[in-house]
């Protein structure tokens, strides 16, 4: 083999930050890249990564790893930097949130290692944060390091992933090339979206267990799920006017001369008890029967509302209204890190394996850790199929 062929056949190398269980990394590996170093500080995710992808992952807080401890000379740096601080799901998002500055760790490593290309992934909320100032700040920070930077909002469903999942991709290169993003292949006027049913329909009635089990000649791993799905709940038997009750409680509280703050302290609540005494802005709430009894002991009020407030009965939950059920004949809703939706059979939530399939992890990719931590690893990941398509575009930039 001549030297030029050897150089051509040499795999492009990748280092990966905030790697989690490795959705993004696996996509790059599948596209022919060699991952030489990875990092995360979530022990279960690191175990999953090691057993499925490779033991090049280091379990450590990135803020404690010096650049000197990271290998040099890799071509690409990946990093799905943490998004909690950025997310619109988190009402406290702010520039001050120290998690927002974990991207600065990525910035430091790009500055010190100078990869040819970097790829960062984040939640959609990043684009609207602080009226767009955060994304501008990030782009300008990376540009200052000599990178040509672009970003794009992508929806996984448009790339053949059976899931609506909008994420921001940021790509930068310092080799004077145009950044490339994969082109949508699925959707209206293109190949049809891949549905939830096509993806996990065959597991519909399979026994729930974390032990491997056989189904249609295949071994199914991690088909374990949360089963806290109830179609009944204890609800108030009688219809009551919330304003009347709140007015009534306010009157008795005034008579007793006790502040809402004091009530909060007595109940050990913060900001909750105050709602019992409001009426104007519809934000009031009626106390539950136990709290009602305690309030009665404090205010010694009459029994005008006792029956109405404290009588409960078992009621049906209207599933579609109160609990999210996954779409069956369209791509799934976003698989999140906090816990999946209810499976359309209504007996359980989606299993770890079903979530993994919707995130396009291969069937033999096995997850480790507690049930909650397995859901978390999967919900955090970049869908493997999307990652692979991103990786192929990165290859196009480099070749
Ligand atoms: C959005 S997830 C990344 C998922 C990953 N890209 C994938 O495709 O599977 C972010 C990860 O950052 C990790 N992380 C957060 N803060 C960290 C820190 N200080 N040091 C190392 N890892 C950290 C979390 O444990 C989490 O696994």
CA distance 179 to 173: 7
Mean pLDDT lowest among 44-58, 90-104, 116-130, 217-231: 90-104
Contact yes or no for 29/385 (Cβ under 8 A)? no
Is residue 57 assigned to a domain? Answer: yes
Q: Is 19 in the pocket of ligand 1 (CB under 6 A)?
A: yes
Query: 59 CA distance to ligand 1 centroid (A)?
Result: 11
**Pairing, β 213-215 against β 218-220:** antiparallel
Query: Which atom in ligand 1 lies closest to the alpha carbon of residue 387?
Result: 8
The verdict on 167 and 262 lying in the same domain is no
Dihedral pair phi/psi, residue 203, rounded to 5°: -100, 5
Tell whether pTM > 0.75: yes
Tell me how far the alpha carbon of residue 325 lies from the centroid of ligand 1, in angstroms. 28
The answer to the question of residue 196 being in a domain is no
Could you tell me if 147 and 119 are in contact, meaning their C-beta atoms sit under 8 angstroms apart? no
Residue 278 located in a structural domain: yes
For residues 332-342, give the mean pLDDT. 85
Distance between CA 142 and CA 172 in Å, rounded?
8
Ligand 1 centroid to 89 CA: how many Å?
17
The yes-or-no answer on residue 83 being catalytic is yes
Q: Indicate the range of 37-51, 216-230, 270-284, 379-393 predicted with least confidence.
A: 270-284
Tell me which of 268, 295, 316 is where a domain ends: 316
Atom 14, ligand 1: residue with shortest CA distance: 18
* Better-predicted residue by pLDDT, 282 or 228: 228
The per-residue pLDDT for 102 is 83
- DSSP code, position 383: P
In what helix (H) or strand (E) does residue 44 lie, and over which residues does it extend?
Answer: helix 43-52
Phi, psi of 56 (to 5 degrees): -80, 5
Task: Give yes or no: residues 82 and 144 share one domain.
Answer: yes
155 in the same domain as 23: yes
**Owner of token pair 């040819």:** 116
Neighbours of 89 (CB within 10 A): 13
Residue 383 beta carbon below 6 angstroms from any ligand 1 atom:
no
Q: What is the mean pLDDT of residues 72-89?
A: 75
Rounded distance from Cα 102 to ligand 1 centre (Å): 10
Instruction: For a ligand 1 pocket test, name from 14, 16, 18, 161 the mutation site with the most ligand atoms within 8 angstroms of its C-beta.
Output: 18
- Concatenating the DSSP letter of every residue in 107-153 gives HHHHHHH--SEEEEEEETHHHHGGGGHHHHHHHHHHHHTT-EEEEEE
Q: Would you say residue 196 has pLDDT above 90?
A: yes
204-227 pLDDT per residue, tens: 889 899 999 999 899 999 999 988
Distance separating alpha carbons of residues 382 and 38, to the nearest angstrom? 15
Residue that wins the pLDDT comparison between 235 and 111 = 111
What was the pLDDT predicted at 283?
Answer: 61
Residue pair 61/42 in contact (Cβ under 8 Å)? The answer is no
Ligand 1 atom at minimum distance from 79 CA: 6
In this structure, the answer to whether residues 31 and 142 fall within a common structural domain is yes
Q: For residue 302, what is the domain's CATH number?
A: 1.10.260
Strand partners, 325: 342
pLDDT computed for residue 88 by the predictor: 39
**Per-residue confidence (pLDDT) for residue 356, from 0 to 100:** 98
Q: What angle do CA 63, 153, 117 make, to 5 degrees?
A: 50
* Any atom of ligand 1 within 6 Å of the Cβ of 21: yes
Residue 64 lies in a domain: yes
Mean pLDDT, range 373-377, rounded to an integer: 96
Task: Flag whether pLDDT at 320 surpasses 50.
Answer: no
305 lines ligand 1 (CB under 6 A): no
Same domain, 87 and 183: yes
Q: Tell me the CA–centroid distance for residue 267 and ligand 1, in Å.
A: 38
Residues 181 and 242 in one domain: no
Q: Is the pLDDT of residue 130 over 80?
A: no
Average pLDDT rounded to a whole number, residues 358-383:
97
Cβ–Cβ contacts within 10 Å for residue 70, how many?
19
Specify whether 153 is located in the same domain as 248.
no
Same domain, 179 and 275: no
| Residue 10's CATH number | 3.40.50.150
Lowest mean pLDDT among 150-159, 280-289, 309-318, 376-385: 280-289
Domain finish residue from 316, 346, 368? 316
- What residues make up the domain containing 307? 232-316
- 46: in domain: yes
- Of all protein residues, whose CA lies closest to atom 18 belonging to ligand 1? 61
The pair phi, psi for residue 233, each rounded to 5°, is -150, 160
State which ligand 1 atom lies nearest to the alpha carbon of 18: 12
Q: How many alpha carbons fall within 13 Å on the CB side of residue 262?
A: 9
Kindly state if the Cβ of 381 falls inside 6 Å of ligand 1: yes
Within-domain flag for 89: yes
Give the total number of structural domains in the chain: 2
Torsion sign, CA atoms 38, 44, 49, 51: positive
Ligand 1 within 6 A of CB of 162: no
Question: What is the largest distance, in Å, between two alpha-carbon atoms of the chain?
Answer: 96
Mean pLDDT across the chain, nearest whole number?
A: 87
Atom 7, ligand 1: which residue's CA is nearest?
Answer: 381
Mean pLDDT for the stretch of residues 316-330: 64
C-beta separation of 285 from 269 below 8 A: no
Least confident of 125-129, 285-289, 342-346, 378-382: 342-346
Residue located via tokens 């009459």: 302
Q: How far is the CA of 64 from the centre of ligand 1 (A)?
A: 14
208 belongs to a structural domain: no
User: Is there an atom of ligand 1 within 6 Å of 102 CB?
Assistant: yes
Query: DSSP characters for 306-359?
Result: HHHHH-EEEEE--HHHHS-B--SSSPBPPPPSS---B-TTSSSBPPHHHHHHHT
Position in ligand 1 atom list of the atom nearest CA 22:
9
Residues 14, 98: one domain? Answer: yes
Atom of ligand 1 nearest to the CA of 45: 27
Asked if residue 43 has its Cβ within 6 Å of ligand 1, the reply is: no
| Predicted pLDDT at 288 | 86
For residues 182 and 247, state if they share a domain: no
CA distances, 16 to each of 28, 56, 58, 86, 326 (Å):
10, 10, 10, 20, 32
CA of 337 to the centre of ligand 1 (A): 12
Q: Are residues 182 and 236 in the same domain?
A: no
Q: Is residue 324 part of a domain?
A: no
**Which one of 316, 341, 358 terminates a domain?**
316
Atom of ligand 1 nearest to the CA of 83: 1
Please, which pLDDT band fits residue 133 given cuts at 50, 70 and 90?
A: confident
What pLDDT sits at residue 301? 94
Mean pLDDT, range 268-273, rounded to an integer: 60
Task: Match 């999210």 to its residue by tokens.
Answer: 324
- In tens, the pLDDT along 157-170 reads 999 999 999 999 99
Is the pLDDT at 91 greater than 60? The verdict is no
Residues 286 and 140 occupy one common structural domain = no
Q: Please determine, for residue 89, whether its predicted confidence score (pLDDT) is greater than 50.
A: no
């Amino acid at each position: 083999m001549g030297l030029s062929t050897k150089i051509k056949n040499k795999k492009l190398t990748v280092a990966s930050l905030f790697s989690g269980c490795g959705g993004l990394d696996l996509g790059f590996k599948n596209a022919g890249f060699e991952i030489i170093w990875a990092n995360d500080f979530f022990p279960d995710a690191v175990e999953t990564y090691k057993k499925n992808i490779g033991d090049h992952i280091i379990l450590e807080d990135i803020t404690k790893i010096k650049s000197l401890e990271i290998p040099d000379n890799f071509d690409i740096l990946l990093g799905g930097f943490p998004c909690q601080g950025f997310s619109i799901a988190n009402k406290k998002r702010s520039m001050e949130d120290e998690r927002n500055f974990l991207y600065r760790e990525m910035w430091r490593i790009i500055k010190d290692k100078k990869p040819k290309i970097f790829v960062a992934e984040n939640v959609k909320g990043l684009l609207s944060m602080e009226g767009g100032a955060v994304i501008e700040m990030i782009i300008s920070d990376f540009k200052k390091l000599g990178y040509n930077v672009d970003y794009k909002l992508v929806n996984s469903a448009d790339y053949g992933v059976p899931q609506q999942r909008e994420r921001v991709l940021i790509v930068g290169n310092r080799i004077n090339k145009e950044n490339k993003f994969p082109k949508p292949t699925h959707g209206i006027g293109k190949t049809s979206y891949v549905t939830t049913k096509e993806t996990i329909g065959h597991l519909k009635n399979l026994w729930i267990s974390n032990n491997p089990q056989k189904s249609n000649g295949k071994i199914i791993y991690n088909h374990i799920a949360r089963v806290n799905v109830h179609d009944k709940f204890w609800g108030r038997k009688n219809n009551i006017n919330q304003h009347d009750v709140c007015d009534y409680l306010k009157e008795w509280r005034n008579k007793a001369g006790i502040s809402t703050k004091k009530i909060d302290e007595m109940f050990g609540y913060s900001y909750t008890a105050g709602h019992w005494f409001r009426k104007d802005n519809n934000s009031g709430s009626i106390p539950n029967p136990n709290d009602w009894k305690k309030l009665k002991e404090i205010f010694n009020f009459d029994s005008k509302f006792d029956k109405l407030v404290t009588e409960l009965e078992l009621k049906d939950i209207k599933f579609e209204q109160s609990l999210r059920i996954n779409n069956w004949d369209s791509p799934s809703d976003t698989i999140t890190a906090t816990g999946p939706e209810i499976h359309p059979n209504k007996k359980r939530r989606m299993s770890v394996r079903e979530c993994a399939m919707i995130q396009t992890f291969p069937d033999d990719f096995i997850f480790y850790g507690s049930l909650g931590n397995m859901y978390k690893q999967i919900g955090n990941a970049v869908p493997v199929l999307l990652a692979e398509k991103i990786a192929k575009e990165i290859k196009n930039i480099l070749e």
